[in-house]
Chain A
Amino acid sequence: MNQLPQTDDHEELVRLLPWYVNGTLDESERSRVKQHIEECAECRSEAEMLTEVRRAVRNGSPAPLVPSPDKDRLLATLDNTGRPAMRHTWPWIAAAATIAAVTITVAWQFGPRPAAQPVLFETVTSPAVNQSINYVLEVQFVPGAATETHGKFFESIGAGELAVPLNDRTYRIALGLGPVTLAELEQYADRIESRPEIATATFVAVQLPVE
């Protein structure tokens, strides 16, 4: 007499599949799901897909270099907690958005230029970006590289019009790479950094289109 109400079971068990796949169900639920999967093609296919998702999540975004804990910064934040912690967030985004727009619209020029404010520069939306994603690369040339070398470098990576100098050998460039993975970005920055004229290359921001 194994006449289980199949559909009711399915409705309940299909919702447990993520935890069947991550191995946290208790034994009785686990064995019910396991048995059900053997009989239900839909749940089998769901479980396969979730296994794929789990693999992608666990393999993806290689663990970044974790910075050392900055206790001083934390304690400094604590000392300023008379006001809400997030108080500086919005002005900060606004400042970053301004810089982002500048990065895109200001044409490359030789010669001195006021350095951008040293704001934190992160994921921002920018009206200047239309349905594409820009990654902002900060490059620093080796000391003594001629400005001509700078210009040639930007042309070689197709960013001749888009580099904004921060000082005499550091620039930010908004690159329309399309959506890429973190690993791809890191590879790209590594390739840039391996050039003899470049001291460092780091992605410092991503600009997203405004909806």
Chain B
Amino acid sequence: MGGSRKISQLAGQDSEDLALLELIAAEDRDALTELYARYHARLFKFVFRLTRSHSVAEELVNDIMLAVWRSAGRFRGASKPSTWIFGIAYRQALKRLSRKKLSITSYLEVDALPDKDAPSLEQEDWVRRGIETLPPTQRLAVELVFYLGLSYDEVATVTDCPVNTVKTRMFHARRKLREQLQASASAADSQGEDK
């Protein structure tokens, strides 16, 4: 019943990840594939949300693990291993998202689905579309806060930004979202009046 056992149970996942990172820093390939197996699904789901593409998501997960392989020796344990790994995921995703050129107008000029049974837009869809049109850093902040459920300190660590920047970024993101929601609501209203 030693105290150390209790601690290792509490932080079981973290301490195992930490041990793997140490081995990876010593270029242990089995440790890398073990860490990859542990994180694959979480990383895949996260980057898939941002890319909507299986093959790009898989490529990104690969790139993330490669970056882990290269930089494991620089991990100093200042944060949880998972936070550090998601920091790498964040930078890879940001790089990828910044390449896309997606304009808001392309969302406003909506062609109808070639199917009369297609569901109409609901509030949640507008919110999701709004999120997708945010600048990459704001969009990722929204994902980190609401999909991964990170605290502001954790977001700051993952994004390597001061906490104040994180708060400001979220503030701007939701101001932009609100503007878009109001625009979509008034568009819906005027459509209603036309009838």
Contact = CB atoms under 8 A, between A and B. Distances in A.
Contact of B149 (A24, A61, A67, A188): A24
Contacts of B183: none
A131 interface: yes
Interface string A167-211: 000000001111111101000100100000000000001101111
B174 A133 contact: no
Contacts of A175: 114
Interface string B53-91: 111111100110111011000000000000000000000
Interface of A: 14-16, 18-19, 21-25, 46, 49-50, 52-61, 63-64, 66-67, 69-71, 73-75, 77-78, 81, 85-86, 93, 120-123, 125, 131-133, 157-158, 175-182, 184, 188, 191, 205-206, 208-211
Given A18-B174, A75-B33, A132-B106, A176 B125 contact: no
Interface residues of B, number: 70
Contacts of A157: 114
Contacts of A81: 66, 69-70
Contacts of B118: 180, 184
Contact of A61 (B36, B49, B167): B49
Contacts of A25: 151
Closest 6 CB pairs of A and B: A178-B111, A56-B127, A24-B151, A69-B40, A57-B146, A15-B167
15 contacts: A18-B152, A19-B145, A24-B151, A25-B151, A49-B174, A61-B128, A71-B36, A74-B32, A75-B33, A85-B66, A121-B55, A158-B114, A175-B114, A181-B128, A208-B102
Contacts of A75: 29, 33
Contacts of A125: 101
B99 to A, nearest CB: 8
B143 A57 contact: yes
Nearest to A24: B151
